[in-house]
Structure 1
Amino acid sequence: MKKERRTKSRFWVYVLAYAIAIIMLLPMLWMLISAFKAPGSTVTVISKLLMPPYTLDSFIEVLKPDGTAMMWRWTLNSVIVGGVQTVVTVLFSSWAAYAVSRIEFKGKKLLIAFILAGLMVPMESIVVPLFNMIVDLDWVNSYKALILPGMMLPLAFLILKQFIDQLPKELLEAAEIDGAGPFLTWWKIIFPLSSSSMAAVSIFVFVQSWNNLLWPLLVAQETKMMTLPVGIPTFQSNFATDLAVPMASNVAASIPALIVFLLFQRHIIKGISMTGIK
């Protein structure tokens, strides 16, 4: 009896889980189908949405170089900003995590508390003074304004520190006995062993940068300097009733981040599991 009850309860748990998953996937499915409809098609009526024909005309409208949508330029800007922020953030976080985890110095606990305090400070609370600083430096509409404020991430430091804390002390002591300094120890031991954790952090930083809207909206005021989250709404404002073309732009914008995630999802799972975060 108990086994039957467990089986029934597990069955309904699975049913509920699949139902929630389907509900969450429906908007994405609607976006994907709408993107393959011709410009001007009705996509708000299910019967018309599911009926052929399907075409790539909406994607052609979005991706053509001489069109109103600067998708290629916005994608390039997003790749540059996301790529630089990811590389710098992961490297700096790894160096800081190694120093705090394995090197003894005065004020270490205070430094850790200061870094972790950044997790409690929302971007909205510092955006005004930060923007005033960018204006004073005359960095508006530049890559410096888009990249530099987003290069530090306390969560990246926390994840990498947890991993480095778990490494055997004897391993690092052996490197020290062999004459390796802090940087050589990081390069020869910490970096190879923490590659999975760094890959997981890299994906997290890249996706966060890719989806960032507030800060690029403020500092990228020229169309050519916009990133995808800012440029797409600007482009979509030209289509009051036509939803097919905006849906195509959203699908095109999500493809690069989706590809990166699919390529590195194994490293994400492995990296998070190795840091002890459940």
Structure 2
Amino acid sequence: MKWVYRIVSGFAALVFAAPIVWMLVVSIKEEGMKIVTVLDWFKPPYSLAVYEQILLDTKLTQWMANSFLVAVFVTVLTVAVAAMAGFAMSKVPYRYRSLMFFVVLAGLLIPGEATIIPLYQVAKDMDLLNSYQGLIIPSLASPVAVIVLKSFFDGVPNDLIESVQMDGGGTWRIFMNIMLPLTRPALASMAILTFIGSWNNFLWPFLSITDDNMFTLPMGIPTLMSQYSEDYVKPMVVNAIASIPIVALFVIFERQIVKGISLSGIKG
């Protein structure tokens, strides 16, 4: 049966890899090439001139920098907030702790699109539109991260915490020196998934940003595509350049990404 699994896996990998290979091949073609058959896409000559043109004549690199900056801040702050919230709901005794957990859990039942209008109004009243703060702050609330990290904190024995308390350790010391090191795999998984989610986020930046200097990649790419509607090479170059950081992230942290998906139940 192993050979059947290998054939099926190889076929699935080929199906998913084919668009990427086609994108990379087309991106190095010369503009204005006559295409008659499918094989013509893969025939020389090849050129990197379009890459140079896109990098120099568009704001793609600036949009990539904006996406990276926002994704890094969203990732760090989201994981920090979720870790503290998960720890508080798991190990810190206080009234209505169970109620708070169900309130966070209820956040999973509300689609993000349903909160867009009030979120936009709040951001407008706080003068956060067209700013990095406006891109970062609304993305910090992550019920999934809180619930996943809480489940990991629940698995830490209370005896270990009590021993630290007997030695004079406070809540902050328990959190920093005990809980965080023991839940490092979950933290890494949530960080990677949060980074990818922020990098690919389109709806909120589309609504909150109007200055093209503040665009992130998901916003900027469609504006370039509209300019090159009759050309194949330039759109593929744009997509190839924009895909490099996220593909590199996946290659480096493949195990953590797969583990994070299995932990959180997210399928996309």
The structure-2 alpha-carbon separation of the partners of 1:43 and 1:21, relative to structure 1 and needing over 3 Å to count, comes to farther
Once the two structures are TM-superposed, the CA of residue 45 in structure 1 deviates from its matched residue by: 4.2
Once the two structures are TM-superposed, the CA of residue 116 in structure 1 deviates from its matched residue by: 1.1
| C-alpha separation in 1, matches of 2:6 and 2:242 | 33
Deviations 1:50-101 (A, max 9, x none): 101122112112111xx1x201210111011101110000011111111111
Correspondent of 1:54 among 46, 50, 59: 46
Once the two structures are TM-superposed, the CA of residue 14 in structure 1 deviates from its matched residue by: 3.5
The structure-2 alpha-carbon separation of the partners of 1:42 and 1:134, relative to structure 1 and needing over 3 Å to count, comes to farther
Q: 1:75 and 2:60 equivalent?
A: no
Which amino acid in structure 1 is aligned with residue 44 of structure 2? P
Instruction: Report the counterpart of residue 192 of structure 1 in structure 2.
Output: 181
Correspondent of 2:19 among 23, 27, 41: 27
Correspondent of 1:179 among 168, 180, 186: 168
Deviations 1:96-132 (A, max 9, x none): 1111111222111111111011112111111112112
Deviations 1:123-156 (A, max 9, x none): 1111112112222222221111111110111111
Is the 1:216–1:227 Cα contact (8 Å) retained in structure 2? yes
| C-alpha separation in 2, matches of 1:42 and 1:21 | 30
Q: 1:125 and 2:114 equivalent?
A: yes
Instruction: Report the counterpart of residue 4 of structure 1 in structure 2.
Output: none
**Alignment map for 1:139-178 (pairs within 5 Å):** 139-178=128-167
State the SS of the aligned residue for 1:87.
Answer: helix
Once the two structures are TM-superposed, the CA of residue 262 in structure 1 deviates from its matched residue by: 2.4
RMSD of equivalent CA atoms = 2.1
| C-alpha separation in 2, matches of 1:229 and 1:51 | 31
Is the 2:193–2:260 Cα contact (8 Å) retained in structure 1? no
Once the two structures are TM-superposed, the CA of residue 265 in structure 1 deviates from its matched residue by: 2.8
State the SS of the aligned residue for 1:237.
Answer: helix
Instruction: Report the counterpart of residue 3 of structure 1 in structure 2.
Output: none
Q: 1:225 and 2:203 equivalent?
A: no
**Alignment map for 1:248-263 (pairs within 5 Å):** 248-263=237-252
TM-score, length of structure 1 as denominator length: 0.89
Once the two structures are TM-superposed, the CA of residue 276 in structure 1 deviates from its matched residue by: 9.4
State the SS of the aligned residue for 1:139.
Answer: coil
The structure-2 alpha-carbon separation of the partners of 1:70 and 1:42, relative to structure 1 and needing over 3 Å to count, comes to farther
The structure-2 alpha-carbon separation of the partners of 1:44 and 1:62, relative to structure 1 and needing over 3 Å to count, comes to farther
Is the 1:163–1:194 Cα contact (8 Å) retained in structure 2? yes
Instruction: Report the counterpart of residue 108 of structure 1 in structure 2.
Output: 97
TM-score, length of structure 2 as denominator length: 0.92
Once the two structures are TM-superposed, the CA of residue 170 in structure 1 deviates from its matched residue by: 1.7
State the SS of the aligned residue for 2:169.
Answer: coil
**Alignment map for 1:28-43 (pairs within 5 Å):** 28-41=20-33
Deviations 1:206-255 (A, max 9, x none): 00000001111111111101000100111111101111111111111111
| C-alpha separation in 2, matches of 1:230 and 1:104 | 44
| C-alpha separation in 2, matches of 1:115 and 1:34 | 46
State the SS of the aligned residue for 1:261.
Answer: helix
Which amino acid in structure 1 is aligned with residue 187 of structure 2? M
- State which drifts further: 162-171 or 35-44: 35-44
Which amino acid in structure 2 is aligned with residue 46 of structure 1? V
Identity of aligned residues (%): 34
| C-alpha separation in 2, matches of 1:147 and 1:161 | 23
